[in-house]
């Protein structure tokens, strides 16, 4: 798939002029990645953000005890970004690593700024930022206030393909539980009619 085909799923042609769409797609570069490749490194400034065409990624951080904790999963059509590192030029606290091989389209900050005069482009970015905030907020509240089984069932419903690609230990840390607890929950679900 060429960039215009995929990026038209993100930047709907009905919302942009032909010239604006061409300018937008020219700013993105195709990136193929392999399983375990790092797209955004901890401790470094993020020079790119990505739109994920295919594959699955994981964002993680080490807690104060040295445990590798999953903070987010990225699925096809997601924007892959560390907002602070990209826009505020602060070192990334998390790292984003590929769970599978895949393809993404990346844009540099300089090229992003070339597009900022396009109102519809700004609106797409604003909508993605707001949605990202609400997703993070809802996940944080769910870890505190909802049973782990409900969190797992929601993940099953929202991203069923992810469960085939993410190791159990990564799913467990994302849900805020142990591997053992997640195994028990999965067995309960498998037994229920």
> What confidence score (pLDDT) does residue 68 get?
96
How much of the chain exceeds pLDDT 90, in percent? 82
Verdict on whether the full-model pTM lies above 0.85? yes
| Tokens 């193929």, located at residue | 32
Q: Buried (b) or exposed (e) across 55-81, using 16+ Cβ within 10 A? A: bbbbbbeeeeeeeebbbbbbebebbbb
Q: Confirm if 50 and 39 have CB atoms less than 8 A apart.
A: yes
Residue among 65, 51, 81, 60 at smallest CA distance from 166: 60
> What confidence score (pLDDT) does residue 10 get?
86
Sign of the C-alpha dihedral computed for residues 76, 82, 87 and 91 taken in this order? negative
Which CATH number applies to 3-117: 2.60.120.10, 3.40.50.720, 2.60.120.620, 3.40.309.10?
Answer: 2.60.120.10
Output the DSSP codes for 103-152. Answer: EEEEEEHHHHHHHTT-HHHHHHHHHHHHHHHHHHHHHHHHHHHS-HHHHH
The whole-angstrom distance between residue 138's C-alpha and the CA centroid of its chain comes to: 15
Residue among 93, 10, 1 at smallest CA distance from 44: 93
Residue among 35, 25, 174 at smallest CA distance from 114: 25
SS3 92: coil
Rounded-to-integer distance, Cα 129 and Cα 147, Å: 27
| Tokens 């570069």, located at residue | 29
**Block means of pLDDT (10 residues each) for the chain, length 193 residues?**
74 89 93 97 93 97 96 94 90 96 96 92 89 91 94 94 94 95 93 82
């Amino acid at each position: 798939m060429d960039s215009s085909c995929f990026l038209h799923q993100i930047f709907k042609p009905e919302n942009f002029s032909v010239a604006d769409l061409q300018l937008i797609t020219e700013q993105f570069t195709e990136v193929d990645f392999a399983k375990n490749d790092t797209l955004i490194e901890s401790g470094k400034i993020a020079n790119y953000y990505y739109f994920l065409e295919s594959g699955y990624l994981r964002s993680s951080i080490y807690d104060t005890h040295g445990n590798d904790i999953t903070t987010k999963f990225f699925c096809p059509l997601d924007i892959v970004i560390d907002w602070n590192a990209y826009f505020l030029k602060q070192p990334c606290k998390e790292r984003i690593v590929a769970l599978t091989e895949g393809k993404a389209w990346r844009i540099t900050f300089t090229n992003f700024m070339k597009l900022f005069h396009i109102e519809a482009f700004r609106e797409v970015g604003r909508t993605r930022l707001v949605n990202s905030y609400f997703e993070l907020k809802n996940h944080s509240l769910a870890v505190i206030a909802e049973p782990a089984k409900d969190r797992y069932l929601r993940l099953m419903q929202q991203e069923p393909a992810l469960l085939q690609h993410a190791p159990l230990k990564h799913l467990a840390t994302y849900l805020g539980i142990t591997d053992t607890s997640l195994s028990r929950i999965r067995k309960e679900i498998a037994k229920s009619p």
